[in-house]
Chain A
Amino acid sequence: DGGITQSPKYLFRKEGQNVTLSCEQNLNHDAMYWYRQDPGQGLRLIYYSQIVNDFQKGDIAEGYSVSREKKESFPLTVTSAQKNPTAFYLCASSDRGLYLETQYFGPGTRLLVL
C-alpha cells in the first residue's frame, strides 16, 4: 500500500521544548514538503526538499528545522524558537517527473501547546 504517513496524529508541546514530527513516504517521490495550516488560512510552506541531503526554506521557516537523510523520510522539528506552534501540520510529496508535479498529502499532525 503506497502512501504518506505522518506521526503522531496529535502532539503536545511544553514551553521551551523541541518536538519532531515524522513524515514517511513509500511512493518513491523525490520531492517532499511541509506545510502549516491555521484556521481561516491556506497552507503555508515551511520547508521543502527536492532531493536527498538538500532542502530549501519556505515562507515561514523561522523556528523550524528539517533533515532529508533518506528519500523516504522528511522529519520536521518545531523548536522552542517557534512562539506560536499550535497548528495542523501537513506533509506532502510529489514525483518530479519530466515537468508536472502533483502533490499528495499525509493525514497530518495536530500540534498543541500545553
Chain B
Amino acid sequence: EDKVVQSPLSLVVHEGDTVTLNCSYEVTNFRSLLWYKQEKKAPTFLFMLTSSGIEKKSGRLSSILDKKELSSILNITATQTGDSAIYLCAVDDFANTGNQFYFGTGTSLTVIP
C-alpha cells in the first residue's frame, strides 16, 4: 500500500493561474515532509515541513503541513512556464535501521503560455 499519495497526478494550467498540489501520507514514525521539484533530471529541494500549521514560503511557492489530517499542500501563485515540472512529495519515516524516505508518484504540472 502506498505510504505517500499525491494528487492530482497531472495538471495543465495557463500562465498566471494559481495551483494547489496535495500530498497525503501514512507512516509509522513521521519526522518530516519534503517537497521537491523535478524538471528533467535530479529533484531539487523546495521545502521541509515538520510542524503543523506553519507555512513555509519561497517567492511564489508556499507549503503547509497538517499533521492532524496527515497531509500537506504546495501552492504556486502566478504560475510561469518555468514552473512546469514534476513536483514530488516525500516523507521521512524513522525506522530502527535508520530513516527511510517514501516518495509519492508526483504531480506533473504543465504551464501553458
Chain B interface size band reads: 20 to 34
The verdict on B29 contacting chain A, using a C-beta distance below 8 Å, is no
Q: Do residues A90 and B31 form an inter-chain contact, with CB atoms below 8 A?
A: no
| Residues in A10-55 with C-beta less than 8 Å from chain B | 31, 33, 35, 40-45, 48, 50
Alpha-carbon distance A43/B106, docked complex (angstroms): 9
Q: Is A100 in contact with B105, judged by CB distance below 8 angstroms?
A: no
Assembled-state Cα–Cα distance A48/B90 (Å) = 16
Q: Which residue of A lies closest to B89 (CB)?
A: A42
Binds A, one of B12-20, B37-45, B60-68, B75-83: B37-45
A96 to B112, CA, bound (A): 40
Q: How far is the CA of A12 from the CA of B6 in the complex (A)?
A: 32
Number of A-B contacts (CB under 8 A): 58
Nearest chain A CB to B92 CB, angstrom units: 6
Are A103 and B34 in contact, with the CB atoms below 8 A? yes
**B 95-109 binary contact with A (CB < 8 Å = 1; else 0):** 001111111111000
Would A103 and B98 count as touching, CB distance under 8 A?
no
Contacting A at CB under 8 A, from B20-35, are: 31-32, 34
Residue pair A103, B90 in contact (C-beta under 8 Å): yes
Residues of chain B with a CB closer than 8 A to A103's CB: 34, 45, 90, 101
CB distance from A104 to the nearest CB of B (A): 7
Q: Quick one: CB contact mask for B1-19 with A, threshold 8 Å, 1 for yes?
A: 0001010010000000000
Please tell me which one of the listed residues B34, B88, B100, B106 contacts residue A102 in the complex, with CB atoms under 8 A apart. B34
Q: Does B111 contact A (CB under 8 A)?
A: no
Q: Which residues of the partner chain A approach B50 to less than 8 Å between Cβ atoms? A: 100
Interface contact B4-A42, CB-CB below 8 Å: yes
- Measured between beta carbons, the chain A residues less than 8 angstroms from B85 are none
Binding site for B on A (CB under 8 A): 4, 31, 33, 35, 40-45, 48, 50, 56, 58, 90, 99-108
A-B contact pairs, 22 of them (CB 8 A): A4-B42, A40-B9, A40-B105, A41-B105, A43-B43, A43-B88, A43-B103, A45-B100, A48-B100, A50-B97, A56-B98, A90-B42, A100-B48, A100-B50, A100-B92, A101-B32, A102-B45, A103-B45, A105-B44, A106-B42, A107-B41, A107-B42
